[in-house]
Amino acid sequence: MEFEISYSLDNEQQFWDELEEIVSATCETHELIDNTLRAYLSFTTNYKDEYLQSEYAIARCSYKLLESAVFKAHQDYVRRQIIYGLLQEDTTATLHLIVAFLLFDGRQHEKTFEMMSTEGGFSRLLELVQAKQDGDTALHRMLLELLYEMSRIQRLRTEDLVLIEDEFIIYLLQVIESLSDDVNDPYHYPVIRVLLVLNEQYMVSAHDPGPSQTHRPLPNKVMKVLCESGSIYKTFGENIILVLNRESETSLQLLILKLLYLLFTTSATYEYFYTNDLHVLVDVMIRNLLDLPLTSSALRHTYLRVLYPLLAHTQLRNPECHYKREELLKVLYMMTSSSGAGMMHFGGVDETTKRLVSRCVQVPWLRDAEEQQEKELSKKFLGIGINARAGESSLSVMEVASHKERPGVQTPSRGRDEGNVAAMKDSEIAIRDNIDHGLGNGVSLGNDRDGNGLGELKSPFEVEGEA
């Protein structure tokens, strides 16, 4: 550190008192601001091992600066100087304090993450995540969180995406595999979220090229690695289903659904998941579809776009793997019914929902050729007839890639609204209870480890079937 001050502290309260005095300094010039920031980082670094050992203490330290007069009066300048510190600093303790400040500030002000991107912060985070993997675990986890938050609120530049190597994706997947015995390990969540948000960035780049992207679409490194080596990275698949089962934040649900869509529409990853995992996923999707209110039509459409390839392309298509056929058909019919036999809360059924449901009920193992009642039920509930072209769509993967929601927005739930429970039909309640009972008894993923092979390897970036 270039700026050193000698302190003699007897207890923790003295530490916080001295820190308050440092950040309370009057700063009217850039030179004085720089001196204050150097003093802040030098002081907190020197006493980090003694007084900043918990996540709470690190956060409290960050908010001392965030709530200071110097920051409130010179926000952009302070942010930029802290970002420069991120780009140049190598000391683990100091980096931890810098990363914490940027993370907490960015979660309140997206401008911070945008400034990081402009100043080259993405490439630095890629470097640090790999360089600090064997060091301070708390810092490493926070680096992953900062990388995720920065990447989910803005479109990454092409020049940043090209910096991601296969080895970086493989490293993240290996981290998850190494922690497979402890699903609650704090590393699981941030690593999974980084992989999900990078996949989304690749999807957006491929289907909505930016002005700086003059060449062919960038290869999706997440899908590339899963296509080539998915059989040794199964834990990642198990965990994204667990997260989807628990997650109430809409933006994270969408990130998972986007990856699932690619996995189920790319032949090399048709059978990436174990069959037992797919059964759990079907239960989760049935429950979530039942739980979405009328206002969540866009999210419902995304679930339906994923449901079709899940049922049509994965091993669920095999007779021995069929699962919840009756429940699936009931839910699909309910979603498009405006009569008393369906769910009245859906109100008027939009044409997109009708079309997506029509495609789902055309999955061969759902559409029992021996039961002529299928056509009659479809005509009655869907208001449309079944035809040979129902499995096709003019929509593209862009519909899935472009669906976004602001971070922090919670998915509406009819199940959490007690006022809606009385309005549920008996058939809906029966299905919901059946699904909730299975999920509530504990989700056991990855039990059918019988060496299910991956499908025929094609281009890892090829998207097949409906979009």
Alpha-carbon distances, residue 298 vs 198, 283, 289, 353 (angstroms): 22, 20, 12, 9
What are the backbone dihedrals phi and psi of residue 249, each rounded to the nearest 5 degrees, phi first? -80, 125
Mean pLDDT for the stretch of residues 351-364: 90
Could you tell me which residue, 29 or 390, shows the higher pLDDT? 29
Residue 227 has pLDDT above 80, yes or no: yes
Residue 390's identity, in one-letter code, is A
Query: For position 32, what pLDDT does the model report?
Result: 96
Element containing residue 455 per DSSP (H, E): none
Tokens for 399?
């519909």
Check residues 180 and 263 and name the one with the higher pLDDT: 263
pLDDT above 70 for 456: no
Q: What is the pLDDT of residue 40?
A: 97
| Residue 389 predicted with pLDDT over 80 | no
**Higher model confidence: residue 367 or residue 18?**
18
Comparison of pLDDT for 4 and 313, the residue scoring more: 313
Which pLDDT belongs to residue 234? Answer: 94
Nearest to 6 by CA among 64, 46, 35, 37: 46
Residue 275 has pLDDT above 50, yes or no: yes
368 vs 442 pLDDT, higher one: 368
In this prediction, residue 423 has a pLDDT band, given cuts at 50, 70 and 90, of: very low
pTM: 0.81
Tell me if 2 sits within 8 A of 38, measured CB to CB.
yes
Determine the average pLDDT of the residues in 2-12: 66
Residue 364 CB-density burial (10 A; 0-12 exposed, 13-18 middle, 19+ buried): exposed
Asked whether residue 422 carries a pLDDT value surpassing 60, the answer given is: no
Mean pLDDT value across the chain: 80
Mean pLDDT on 120-141: 88
Residue range 19-41: mean pLDDT, rounded: 95
**Residue 464 pLDDT more than 80?**
no
Give the residue with greater pLDDT, 295 vs 232. 232
Cα–Cα distance for residue pair 467/464, rounded to 1 Å:
8
| pLDDT tens per residue, range 47-86 | 999 999 999 999 999 999 999 999 999 999 999 999 999 9
Confidence of residue 180 (pLDDT cuts 50, 70, 90): low
Question: Cβ(70)–Cβ(36) under 8 Å?
Answer: yes
pLDDT of residue 461: 30
pLDDT above 80: residue 386: no
pLDDT score for 287: 93
pLDDT, tens digit, for every residue of 244-259?
Answer: 998 888 889 999 999 9
CA Rg value for the chain: 25
One-character DSSP codes across 234-282: HHHHHHHHHHHHH--BHHHHHHHHHHHHHHHHSGGGTT-S-HHHHHHHH
More reliable by pLDDT, 2 or 462: 2
